[in-house]
Copies of this chain bind each other. A is one copy, B any other.
Amino acid sequence: MSGNTFGKLFSFTTFGESHGPSLGIVLDGVPAGLEFSLTDLQKELDRRAPGRIEGTTSRIEPDHAEILSGIFNNKTLGTPIAVIVKNLNQRSEDYESFKDEFRPGHADRTTLLKYGIRDHRGGGRSSGRETLSRVIAGYFAGLIIPQIKVFAFINQLGPYKAFNKNPKEFSLNLDPFSFPFGEKKEEVIGFLKDLKQKGESVGGKISIIIENCPPGLGEPVFDKLKSDFAKGFLSIGSCVSFSYGLGEELADSFGTEVSENFSNFGGMEGGISSGERIFMECAFKPPSTVGDKAKAGRHDPCILPRVIPVVESMAKVVLADHFLRQRAYANKNSI
Listed in ascending order, the chain A residues whose CB lies under 8 Å from chain B are: 1-6, 8-9, 11, 13-17, 20-24, 26, 28-29, 31-34, 66-72, 75, 77-82, 84, 103-111, 113-119, 124-126, 130, 144-147, 156, 158-159, 200-205, 214-216, 218-224, 226-235, 237, 240-248, 250-256, 258-262, 264-265, 268-275, 283-291, 294, 323-331, 333-335
Contacts and interface: CB of A to CB of B under 8 A. Distances in A.
Given A104-B259, A259-B288, 4 more contacts: A17-B72, A200-B255, A203-B253, A255-B290
Contacts of A291: 256
A127 B116 CA distance: 40
A202 B255 contact: yes
B235 A240 contact: no
Contact of A28 (B4, B8, B285): B4
Contacts of A262: 104-105, 109
A205 B250 CA distance: 9
A229 B201 CA distance: 27
B264 A105 contact: yes
A274 to B, nearest CB: 5
Contact of A104 (B113, B118, B269): B269
A290 B256 contact: yes
Contacts of A22: 68-69, 82
A24 B250 contact: no
B2 A29 contact: yes
A198 to B, nearest CB: 9
Contact of A115 (B4, B33, B67): B33
A9 B11 CA distance: 14
> Which 8 A-B residue pairings sit nearest by Cβ, starting from the closest?
A107-B270, A3-B223, A3-B219, A201-B255, A328-B328, A241-B243, A110-B272, A114-B216
A105 B258 contact: yes
Contact of A287 (B29, B201, B255, B325): B255
A66 B22 CA distance: 11
A207 to B, nearest CB: 12
A290 B259 contact: yes
Contacts of A202: 253-255
A179 B332 CA distance: 35
Given A5-B28, A80-B13, A254 B286 contact: yes
